[in-house]
């Protein structure tokens, strides 16, 4: 039987051996762990196809879960892990060893402390490693970077060009759309007289020549005034006084007046891209002799201006053949003016007011855009009135031949408008009201989407054709001294015809149609119609 002490010694030796073997195993494991944590794994160089970033899977603060062995993540995504520097690529990269289910805080406390000391904390380490990983690598990356810079420069240049073009377009439109009277310091208090000259044009009975006056280029405001000269003699002349006013800071050579035999031109030299522009105001006083027997006359006076106004007041009959006025964005005021030929006034964006204008052997023409026309007491062989987006008011207009009035999007008001060979009044989206008269020819009063309320009178026994019509609006017409066949019709509404029973013979009658004859059937034709609205017709003797 063994001695108890020897058995105890043997047990102690076995325990020491086991302890020693355990200590050796722990030492080997620690050495292996240090080798894994300090020795980098060598991987083949990264190719262009694999040159991209991976997003890490969900993780906790200390545990790495389910990392594939062929994927690598930088330690910025896993706080607490030591960085392994891989130097076999073109740039040093920070990669993570392929470890699964490891407690980083228990296994690498020393590396964690070194990392905090080296980068000053996990935040700076994450920023440093993120910047390192995001650097482009390889020749293709450099090409992509250069292409990106080049594309950015091209986009910037295109954007600058688009912005510059837009600003230039706005300035251009503003310069040409707004009235020139908005130029800098255009009030009378800020202007001084720059030029004051007079020019004389002789009226020769043997070789009469027209006179043309232009005040366009560079002139902000043109003020044209036609005056009557004193009692003329056989050598009567036309005198033009040109007074040019400019801003106080304008250059002395800003204004130029060019004088020819029959042409007077007032210009102002302006820088093309000047903004705001200095104001230049031209005042032209045109003295025309009064008409008298055996005195020569000016065959034509043509005035062309930009923005401004024209005035011819209380002149009587002038020794002038034709008067032509052409204005841009200007208004014209004529009162008690007579010429031997015709009167033609054309303006844009300006009102025309003509009262007591007499054209001897010519026509009277008044044309404007986006403005109203007011005519009263016009005498001419023919009268033509046209505008857009403005009302036309004509009173006591007498033409030997025809009277034509036209507008759009505005009403027409007529008061004793008489044409020897007819009267035409047309508008769209505007009403027609008033009374007209004609000796012969055609009387036409038509509109759309607005009502018509007129009185038509026939002068003499000549044959006439009358047409009164509207669409989508009511029509009310009264006829006096008109004879012939009549046709009154509408749709989706009723018609009413009344008058002397001994003159009216109705041949066809229904809710929307009444036709027949009024007196002599061969004296003319009357047509009154509408759509979707009522029509009322009254015939007088």
Question: What confidence score (pLDDT) does residue 102 get?
Answer: 45
d(CA 390, CA 409): 7
- List Cα–Cα distances, 344 to 33, 321, 324, 325, 328, in angstroms: 108, 12, 5, 6, 14
Percent of the chain, pLDDT > 90? 31
| DSSP string covering 470-482 | -SSS-EEEEEES-
**The predicted structure's pLDDT at residue 260:** 78
CA distances from 22 to 8, 16, 17, 29, 106 (A): 21, 10, 8, 10, 20
d(CA 11, CA 26): 22
Do the strands 484-489 and 513-518 form a parallel or antiparallel pair, or are they unpaired?
antiparallel
Half-sphere exposure of 312 (CA within 13 A, CB side): 30
Q: How many CB atoms lie within 10 A of CB 137?
A: 16
Residue-level pLDDT at 476: 93
Q: Which residue has the higher pLDDT, 512 or 271?
A: 512
CB 211 within 8 A of CB 302: yes
With tokens 């106004």, the residue in question is 309
Query: Which DSSP state fits 19?
Result: H
Closest to 331 measured CA to CA, from 179, 474, 184, 438: 179
Tell me the range of 111-115, 261-265, 297-301 where mean pLDDT is highest. Answer: 297-301
pLDDT number for residue 189: 76
Q: Mean pLDDT over residues 101-107, rounded?
A: 47
Per-residue pLDDT reduced to its tens digit, 330-354: 899 999 999 999 999 999 888 999 9
CA distance 422 to 405: 11
**What are the phi and psi torsion angles at 337 (to 5°)?**
-125, 135
Residue 195 half-sphere exposure toward CB, CA atoms < 13 A = 23
Q: How far apart, in Å, do the first and last CA atoms of the chain sit?
A: 167
Indicate the angle between helix axes 109-119 and 122-133, nearest 10 degrees: 80
Enter the pTM of the model: 0.65
Query: Two tokens at 211?
Result: 């006179």
pLDDT above 80: residue 362: yes
Please give the sequence-ordered ranges of beta strands (E in DSSP) within 132-291, or none if there are none: 191-202, 211-215, 221-228, 237-247, 255-259, 263-268, 280-288
Ranges 11-25, 276-290, 363-377, 396-410: which has the least confidence: 11-25
SS3 string of 20-76?
HHHHHHHHHHHHHHHHHHHCCCCCCCCCCCCCCCCCCCCCCCCECCCCCCCCCCCHH
For 252-276, what is the mean pLDDT?
A: 74
Between CA 471 and CA 206 the distance in angstroms is 57
> Which distant-in-sequence residues (6+ apart) come within 8 Å of 453 by Cβ?
431, 432, 433, 476, 477
Helical H segments across 231-349, by residue range: none
How far is CA 259 from its chain centroid? 39
The partner residues of 437 in beta bridges, in order of sequence, read: 418, 457
Separation of alpha carbons 536 and 188, rounded Å = 57
pLDDT surpasses 70 at 88: no
Question: Which two tokens mark 215?
Answer: 């005040």
* Largest CA-CA distance found in the chain, in angstroms, rounded: 178
Output the CA torsion sign for 4, 7, 11, 16: positive
Task: Tell whether the model's pLDDT for residue 113 goes beyond 60.
Answer: no
Residues 6+ positions from 101 with CB-CB distance below 8 Å? 63, 64, 65
Decide: 446 and 469 in contact? Cβ < 8 Å. Answer: yes
User: 3-state DSSP call for residue 317?
Assistant: strand
Token pair recorded at residue 337: 């003016």
Tokens of 416: 């004793």
Q: How far is CA 249 from CA 83, 181, 194, 350, in A?
A: 76, 17, 11, 30
Q: What angle do CA 180, 186, 187 make, to 5 degrees?
A: 135
Predicted local distance difference test score (pLDDT) of residue 192: 84
Rounded Cα distance between 447 and 417, Å, is: 18
The pLDDT of residue 325 is: 94
Per-residue model confidence (pLDDT) at position 50: 44
Beta bridge partners of 353: 333, 374
Most confident range (mean pLDDT) of 48-62, 229-243, 485-499 is 485-499
Please list the residues that pair with 345 across neighbouring strands.
325, 366
pLDDT of 460 strictly over 60:
yes
Residues 6+ apart with CB under 8 A from 18: none
Give the DSSP H/E element, type plus range, for residue 10. Answer: helix 4-38
Neighbours of 271 (CB within 10 A): 9
Q: Greater confidence, 328 or 467?
A: 467
């Amino acid at each position: 039987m063994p001695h108890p002490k020897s058995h105890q010694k043997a047990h102690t030796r076995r325990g020491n051996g086991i302890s020693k073997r355990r200590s050796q195993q722990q030492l080997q494991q620690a050495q292996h762990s240090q080798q894994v944590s300090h020795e980098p794994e060598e991987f083949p160089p990264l190719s262009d196809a694999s040159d991209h970033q991976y997003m890490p899977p969900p993780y906790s603060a200390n545990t790495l879960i389910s990392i594939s062995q062929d994927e690598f993540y930088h330690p910025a995504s896993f706080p607490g892990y030591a960085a392994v520097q891989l130097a076999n690529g073109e740039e040093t990269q920070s990669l993570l060893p392929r470890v699964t289910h490891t407690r980083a805080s228990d296994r690498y406390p020393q590396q964690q402390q070194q990392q905090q000391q080296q980068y000053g904390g996990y935040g700076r380490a994450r920023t440093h490693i993120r910047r390192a990983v995001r650097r482009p690598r390889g020749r293709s990356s450099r090409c992509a970077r250069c292409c990106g810079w080049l594309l950015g420069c091209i986009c910037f240049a295109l954007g600058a060009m688009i912005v510059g073009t837009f600003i230039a377009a706005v300035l251009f439109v503003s310069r040409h759309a707004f009235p020139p009277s908005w130029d800098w310091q255009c009030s009378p208090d800020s202007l001084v007289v720059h030029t004051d000259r007079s020019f004389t044009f002789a009226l020769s009975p043997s070789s009469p020549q027209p006179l043309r006056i232009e005040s366009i280029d560079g002139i902000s405001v043109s003020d044209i005034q036609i005056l009557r000269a004193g009692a003329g003699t056989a050598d009567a002349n036309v005198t033009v006084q040109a007074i040019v006013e400019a801003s106080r800071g304008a250059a002395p050579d800003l204004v130029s007046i060019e004088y020819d035999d029959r042409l007077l031109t007032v210009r102002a030299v302006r820088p093309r891209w000047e903004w705001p522009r200095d104001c230049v105001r031209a005042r032209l006083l045109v003295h025309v002799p009064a008409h008298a027997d055996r005195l020569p006359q000016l065959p034509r006076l043509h005035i062309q201006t930009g923005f401004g106004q024209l005035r011819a007041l209380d002149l009587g009959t002038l020794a002038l053949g034709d008067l032509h006025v052409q204005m841009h964005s200007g208004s014209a005021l004529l009162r008690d003016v007579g010429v031997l030929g015709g009167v033609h006034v054309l303006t844009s964006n300006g009102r025309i007011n003509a009262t007591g204008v007499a054209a001897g052997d010519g026509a009277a023409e008044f044309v404007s855009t986006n403005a109203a026309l007011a005519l009263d007491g016009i005498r001419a062989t023919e009268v033509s009135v046209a505008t857009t987006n403005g009302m036309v008011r004509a009173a006591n207009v007498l033409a030997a031949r025809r009277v034509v009035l036209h507008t759009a999007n505005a009403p027409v008001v007529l008061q004793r408008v008489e044409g020897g060979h007819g009267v035409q009044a047309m508008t769209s989206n505007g009403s027609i009201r008033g009374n007209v008269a004609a000796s012969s020819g055609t009387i036409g009063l038509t509109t759309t989407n607005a009502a018509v309320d007129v009185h038509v009178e026939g002068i003499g026994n000549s044959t006439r054709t009358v047409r009164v019509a509207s669409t989508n609006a009511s029509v009310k017409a009264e006829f006096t001294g008109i004879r012939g066949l009549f046709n009154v019709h509408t749709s989706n509404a009723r018609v009413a015809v009344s008058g002397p029973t001994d003159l009216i013979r109705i041949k066809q009658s229904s809710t929307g149609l009444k036709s027949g004859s009024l007196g002599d059937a061969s004296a003319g034709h009357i047509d009154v119609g509408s759509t979707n609205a009522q029509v009322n017709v009254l015939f007088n003797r």
